[in-house]
Structure 1
């Protein structure tokens, strides 16, 4: 099975390749799942043609899916981003397009901040730039969650997936506890996000767990929505914002509107902020 040893983490990944298609000469595409998920959650996105013609890499983040937990170490998005950076270097160090959802989106954002040379284009799906970007009731639920929730969560599809593929099913309470502790941490990446030069597509649902006002604020940190781009679009920012109608944080990845939005962004070329035609 495809594992990479990355700084003490035995990281599970899968590669999906297609020889033809509009992205045949494009950068690799890395897909990062949400909390309690695994790389296989992206099967519908791949079936819809996202990454067609590309080398696509799905990753099970540490402690998730087929990647075992690292005993004694807390789980942080900064560490998860370092894991992914190690995997990309293990695979040759080529800059990749990266798409992440929820926890995976936070990991992708930190990857662009901590290892900018490894990210060509970035898709951030349903994740705020700071903790207060979530609705207050969402952070309240996060604050109440701890390892004790593991037993009740065994009734969920998330546990069904974990029980089916995890190397040690008995580590489920450990995963729940570590994710819960990570979700209780305060964070604000605003200052660091303003320095990200890779083009970024932000994707949210109009019924998301992220506040709409924060979606616009996040877009502004990336240089979006600050001025009229002009009649010819010459001052259009590299960043894009997609708010998908009828979608929530929990079903956004299944929206039929997501694949075309992602494909259009990834196939738009490598230009970042500060380059002609991409104002900041």
Structure 2
């Protein structure tokens, strides 16, 4: 574990286990600790590399604007710094947006892509969620003092006083419109979409996302030969907040990463 200086950012990363690398990107206001509960299951089959995104956890913020695209370039640069071949990449929520952009912008770096509770366009979230995202600012940060995310940030961040700035920068990012549907449809690698059945993203958007990846357009046949290489999983009894710690998540992720996938006939 340690820091990598890439693109003017000192990214914190941790490496655990051995085998084919699986890179994990946390959600907003999170850190590498986001995956603590599922990491043992993942380590049984993979070398796990977890990253604190800019402004989060142990990675200090910089001066540049926050964009999914620039953070994706940071992850690609980190993979180069670590001299890693094409990796399996898993991103959750905010980290899912970064992972998706990394796959779009640096497809040779990504072998298989797992997106957990991630939309392909900003308006893929429920309207109430979008309103909450738009309201994230320094005042919201003050209301969140003392919560578990704040307690963790205060313990590990290089500059704990940047807590209000984290919320202001997050709000700026989350208010920006985007629609990556055309680029999603052109992705060359297999993608696993994972959602909770009570997610912050409507089921119709999950199905639309899967459709962009070639899913749900025809009967795959009795032997499944007509199915796409990408997959969709909706996990029962979970929400956007607790899906990332559920044992059901590695239970669907690991088979996707390890099984041979047959292209549709």
| TM-score grouping bracket, smaller chain normalisation | over 0.9
Is 1:39 paired with 2:24? no
Residue 134 (str. 1) matches residue 125 (str. 2): yes
Alignment: residue pair count? 265
Match of 1:151, SS state, is helix
Residue 74 of structure 1 deviates from its aligned partner by 1.2
Please, what TM-score do these two structures have when normalized by structure 2? 0.96
How far did 1:268 drift? 1.4
Deviation at 1:130, TM superposition (A): 0.7
Where does the alignment leave 5 or more consecutive residues of structure 2 unmatched?
none
| Cα deviation, residue 54, structure 1 | 2.5
**Does structure 2 retain, via aligned residues, the 8 Å contact 1:133–1:210?**
yes
Distance 2:136 2:46 in 1: 39
Cα distance between partner residues in 1 of 2:45 and 2:238: 28
Closer, same or farther in 2 for the Cα pair 1:55/1:106, shift >3 Å?
A: same
Q: Residue in 2 aligned with 1:255?
A: 246
2:108 maps to 1:117: yes
TM-score, normalisation: structure 1: 0.91
- 1:174 CA displacement: 1.1
Aligned partners of 1:51 and 1:263 also within 8 Å:
no
Q: 2:207 matched to which residue of 1?
A: 216
Would you say the 8 A contact 2:26–2:52 is kept in 1?
yes
- State the Cα distance separating 1:153 from its structure 2 match: 1.2
Is residue 2:93 matched to residue 1:108?
A: no
Q: Hey, what's the Cα distance between the residues in 1 that align with 2:176 and 2:228?
A: 31
Q: CA RMSD in A?
A: 1.3
* Aligned-partner SS, 2:263: coil
Residue ranges of structure 1 left out of the alignment (5+ in a row): 19-23, 272-276
The question of whether the paired residues in 2 share the 8 Å contact of 1:28 and 1:96 is answered with yes
Do structure 1's residue 78 and structure 2's residue 60 form an aligned pair? Answer: no
Residue deviations 1:77-131 (CA, integer Å, cap 9, x gap): 1111111101000011411000110001111100000000000001100011111
Question: Shift in Å at residue 33 of structure 1?
Answer: 0.4
CA distance in 1, matches of 2:55, 2:5: 14
1:189 aligned to 180, 183, 187, which one?
A: 180
Moved over 4 A (4+): none
CA contact (8 A) 2:35 2:245 kept: no
Indicate the SS of the match to 1:261. helix
SS at match of 2:13: strand
* Residue equivalent to 1:279: 264
Task: Identify the residue that residue 274 of structure 1 maps to in structure 2.
Answer: none
The equivalent of 1:50 in structure 2 is: 42
Aligned partners of 1:145, 1:43: CA distance in 2, in Å? 26
Q: Distance in 2 between matches of 1:140 and 1:46?
A: 32
Q: Which of residues 28, 45, 61 is equivalent to 1:69?
A: 61
Q: 1:245 aligns with which of 216, 233, 236?
A: 236
